[in-house]
Structure 1
Amino acid sequence: MDAAFKRVSGNPGPEAGTEELDTGRRRRGSMYLEEETSKKSEVITCIFSLKEEVGALARGLRLFEEKGINLTHIESRPSRMNKGQFEFFISVDASCSQALDDVIDGLRTQISGHVHELTRNKQKDTVPWFPNDIQDLDRFANQILSYGSELESDHPVIPRVEYTEAEKLTWGTVFKELKTLYPTHACHEHNRVFPLLEKYCGYRQDNVPQLEDVSRFLQSCTGFRLRPVAGLLSSRDFLAGLAFRVFHSTQYIRHGSEPTYTPEP
């Protein structure tokens, strides 16, 4: 078990064979880690949410039926995160893990469902897996909860981006507006640090700063570094990154037609 936990992508160790690599790697589209398990109590559990409407659950269960997946347990409750939705907790046999990946994609694309959590082979009185070194953070880089969960996460660490003139104009509009508000609306710590970002990281009205430059500046000052992810991590995974001084972050460009609008709270 320890050997399985310590393996990371691209570094399986000299003792790992082909079969072990297939067992220990992540499956695309899933939000659980496949590790070596015993033959006892091999179960996959999943929590997903659907809109509260007639036939929603039937359409969701039909996806499991089409893939030949037998549900061994199912529970339901009103969603704690979104009103008008219900959450469903299910258990299936671990032998269905490959087919379950297809069902997860179907829940997201065909009926607009959201998969909040997947765990596998939960056993009583066991310690949940947690990263032991910074490379282990790669193992949950794609375990995102909502927006961007369909994107690949195996991109370069922080690529440098060539922004279009339209994107720079959108950035400039937001930058100018926020800079006028910072003296009266931002905290003391922010107002103290922001001039440093302008001086060392290229924060200007006519320039979109590169995330790699910001990460290097942050690391030189605090020891923390940034790591881009394609969506929202669970609280547990986000805190695990902080333990290694890694701050997972998302980045997006606002739409040029409405530069002052953001989906963030």
Structure 2
Amino acid sequence: PVAGYLSPRDFLSGLAFRVFHCTQYIRHSSDPFYTPEPDCCHELLGHMPLLANSSFAQFSQEIGLASLGASEEDINKLATLYFFTVEFGLCRQQDGSFKVFGAGLLSSVAELQHAITTTDKIKRFDPEVTCQEECIITAYQNAYYYTDSFEEAKEKMRAYADTIQRPFGVRYNPYTQTVEVLSNAKKITAVVSELRGDLSIVSSALKKVSAMDENLDVEKIEKLLSSSLHVCDKTLNPEEPDGPEQTSSTPNKE
């Protein structure tokens, strides 16, 4: 429990450890449909249903992990992206209409009506652009951002987080409930070893389920796995520049 707003760094670091800071007070009865500060109605109606979804909870934690060790500039940008996705994000449906998933909209009838009736203010989510948007606390937002799916928002945020300059990587260990700093080959090897075990379980399950379920799209799952490995391979082995191989003209010293 907290008494009000935290600094962006403190709030985001809590998410990294699977801790969500909540306020305990309730909005004034004179204005039940809008509150400039997050109250327990906002937490219960807006955040808790989404955090009960494992995919959304993972998304929130990944934003928190991306903030650890980041500069103040990057922290503020991450906080802005969190604000316009988790708090005020929308998804566009196939018919062009919008559905809301942002907690700030779900818990505020007044701003929800404002957002969906001013479609000229709804823009496509682009982390590089959205991170420059002003976060308004005491009034309605000047702009809202959408994706075609929640998964699209996750992938764009992951790609943006990869651009944050840190000399290490981090991961959350659910067994010890700690954040591990991946700063050397030994630690990375240990993580890969764990992943091999998980992949072995997935591979075994795929064989068993595909034998019983003809509708299982094994190819889709394989593409999902290979795309992740391909990104990793490109990072570790950047493509050679075009043209003939360059050799050093300096003779080797015996």
Q: TM-score, normalised by structure 2?
A: 0.28
Question: As a proportion of its length, which structure holds more helix?
Answer: 2
Q: TM-score, normalised by structure 1?
A: 0.28
Whose relative contact order is higher, 1 or 2, with alpha carbons under 8 Å and at least 6 apart? 1
Question: As a proportion of its length, which structure holds more strand?
Answer: 1
